[in-house]
Amino acid sequence: SQKIEQNSEALNIQEGKTATLTCNYTNYSPAYLQWYRQDPGRGPVFLLLIRENEKEKRKERLKVTFDTTLKQSLFHITASQPADSATYLCALGEAGTALIFGKGTTLSVSS
Amino acid sequence: GAVVSQHPSRVICKSGTSVKIECRSLDFQATTMFWYRQFPKKSLMLMATSNEGSKATYEQGVEKDKFLINHASLTLSTLTVTSAHPEDSSFYICSARSGDRGNTGELFFGEGSRLTVL
């Protein structure tokens, strides 16, 4: 069956450390993968997109990798801050279909 | 970035009544909008794809007679939950892509609508 799994439901780290979130998938052939941030009671906000032929993407303190052999994407936040505390969702896009979302990982950054 | 506005943000209704949720793209035209439902600590579940000027495409297991979707213009899609029951209580979120970002572009989400059916 098809699955999208984000490594853990919750991740707690200290301010200044690098947060690493994992997104694994099975029985999908995504053409691209996206990461979103969702704050409580709000709609998700787009962060980054990475395509199947790209290994890595960066945007300010964010970095995303995409390994289609391992069927995995890693999402890194460097020099994390309390304001980075939120739920982060990965989403897969296959050709011609709507985005499919993972359950999300809730990140808490303590000062 | 593009803005999607969703209204109302919260609604409480009695069992058996109908509730309409509006989703508007404020600064771009959206030929396609998506409606999602989200339960606490669960992923966003795609309910249907709303296409301007034509019928919505519903995902398997979603009752189209219960969740009526209308996409009457390039900037407005509505979701009506008919004869609501307590199990319909959820967080409903709409999203859209801006046309110039192609089919792989990011989704712009509304703020969501929290429906509580008593």
| pLDDT per residue of chain A (111 residues) written in tens, 0 to 9 | 888 999 778 999 999 999 999 999 999 988 899 999 999 989 999 999 999 999 999 999 999 999 999 999 999 999 999 999 999 999 998 876 788 899 999 999 999
* pLDDT band (50, 70, 90) for residue B101: low
Q: With beta carbons less than 8 A apart as the criterion, state whether B95 and B110 touch.
A: yes
Contact B43 A101 (CB under 8 A): yes
Picking from A23, A101, A88, the residue whose alpha carbon sits closest to that of residue B34 is: A101
Matching residue, tokens 């296409």: B51
Q: What is the pLDDT of residues B45-92, one digit of tens each?
A: 999 998 888 889 999 999 999 999 998 888 999 999 999 999 999 999
Residues of B in contact with A1 (CB under 8 A): none
Picking from A57, A62, A22, A67, the residue whose alpha carbon sits closest to that of residue A45 is: A62
What local confidence, expressed as pLDDT, does residue B97 receive? 79
pLDDT at B102 over 80: no
Q: With beta carbons less than 8 A apart as the criterion, state whether B34 and B58 touch.
A: no
Question: Would you tell me how many other CB atoms lie within 10 Å of the CB of residue A67?
Answer: 12
pLDDT at B107 over 90: no
Nearest by CB: B43 against A34, A93, A104: A104
DSSP code for B86: G
What local confidence, expressed as pLDDT, does residue B32 receive? 86
Q: Give the B-side interface with A, CB within 8 Å.
A: 1, 4, 6, 34, 36, 41-44, 46, 49, 91, 93, 95, 103-112, 114
